[in-house]
Structure 1
Amino acid sequence: MYHKKVCLLIGDLPVTYASAYCLFGTVGVVGYYLIKGCDALRIKLSLSGLARKTLPRDHYHQLSGLIYAMLKEANPSFSEWLHDRGFEDNSKQFKFFCFSRLITHPSEVQYLGEKKSEVHFITDNAALYISSPVREFLENLVSFLLTRSEIRLAGQLLRIESALALGKQHFSESEAFKAVTPIILTKKVEEHTTPFYIRAYQTPEEFDDYLTRNAREKWRIYSGKQSDDLTLKCDKQYLQRKGRSTACKIQIMPQEVMIGSIVPVTVTGSPEEVEFMYDVGLGQKNSFGMGMIEKIGIRY
């Protein structure tokens, strides 16, 4: 029998459950306690089976599909509702989850192709971080993880070595974050038939304005409360140093290229609002992995 480790972290003490529990019909209890017990809202998956395999460099679309597939197996109705509708208000619609790319040390991958559009893994292992403020989302994800030891990503079979529910962090009224994945913001411009991507290095004040408006809209739909205090500001000194290199292109689909910004952002508001932004991600396209953040100083 294969025992996949599913771990949670309470303070500095790791607690491990084996997937064998699900054979005794307690997966719901264990899955619930995994989230409820430590109040964790971010999960780290340790995956293996990547050595000598090649994926699209920007494999966010594939990861998004994987997450929906995991949710569908655990709870088809929730997965369908989240995919088709989600949290909405008039024309605004949010999924309220985000995730990282597959993370390894830079020396353990090679980028292939004329435009370096593919990533070839030298290492066998990588980590995937998934975050959401929605408890039902994470409970369904954990239910899947407790019953499966393998996943399929872009046609490649990978093994789930462990799933770690990261301990809840404490937030003050102002926190500085780094961007784990690019932050996407768009606006409508008359001379453009498609949305125009706002680059932080070009118009940092406008970037802050749109980023703050997006954050307040998410908070309003999630909590039902308005917030005039929630404010987001990118690091202007960082932009002066790094300039154009903070902008990056992301090939989400074969015919869809997005432009994002990799820049530190300070989130100011109530501790509850700051925590919400950490869990949900900044800017647009969070359900495609965009806008995941982490406290500065914490390495992935």
Structure 2
Amino acid sequence: MKYISAIVENNFNLTKAAEVLLTSQSNLSRLINEFEKDEQVQLFSRRKGRITGLTKVGQDYLDDASVAIRAYDHTMNRLRNNAKGHFGVVRVGIAPVILSVLFDKVITQFILENPDVKIELHEDGAYDLQQQLVNHDIDLAFLMSPATTSQIEEKIVYTDRVGVFFRDDHRFAQQSGPIKVQAIAKEKLVVLDDTFMLNHQIMNLFSRRHLKPDILFQSRSWDLSINMCRQMDVVTILPRPITFNYQPRDIQYRDISPDFKWQVSICRLKQRISEKLVDYVEDYMIHYFRENKIKRLNDDNEM
């Protein structure tokens, strides 16, 4: 089950999947072929001998396998927790946009599976959170990559895109594809303030093209930015995943051209004393986002 999940997660690239699974590409290919032969099914569609996607049978198997894998992982987590006796407090810093978009489910799941571990959330902008890490005021931070200090190590756990939001009667609503950054620079913009990494990346996007954006208003609230778009003829620039949880009917979204990536990393100090509880929480979060990446890939393919 994990082999098939790894192949899908790595976009059907057997070489990359084999690296993740710590095996060879030829061995992985052999195992898949033997499984299909033994079970008399075809899980993968192929073209000229190369795997290109899942068949209907393969998709059904993956869906069922994902449930089984999560159930197994949940059982093992409970077993390990009982054995290790995880308890205590871990201080986790999360930027507000990341918290709103990504953490409602994972925090709930973690609390249910780890009732003796308290997650103390610190909600702040990326630069403030980096400083809190350096000052040892928090143990972990989820930040928009890249971090801006060499004292911090980061592991990317989530990748998506940044785009523009605007109301239905805005001129961008007539365009079906990505909006060019040159066109965005001509609009009145509402953006997050400079305590957010996103603000600096937006400014860099314009400055690299010698563009001077018309910044009407800056705040620390992404939902305020969305609401201002509803009431005014303005544009805001925010991560696409906001549309998964919140998008009024009168607000539209478009990608930006050139592509503007939104990458979220889990961050810790490079020089630190290893703490088992913090290590456990970090591993749990990384595992959660890795397992849920498959579901996001499938959801994107259905859109």
- Bin of the TM-score, shorter chain as denominator length: under 0.3
Higher helix share: 2
Structure 1 length-normalised TM: 0.25
The structure that is strand-richer by fraction is: 1
What is the TM-score when the length of structure 2 is the normalising length?
Answer: 0.25
Bigger relative CO (Cα 8 Å, ≥ 6 apart): 1
Larger Rg: 2
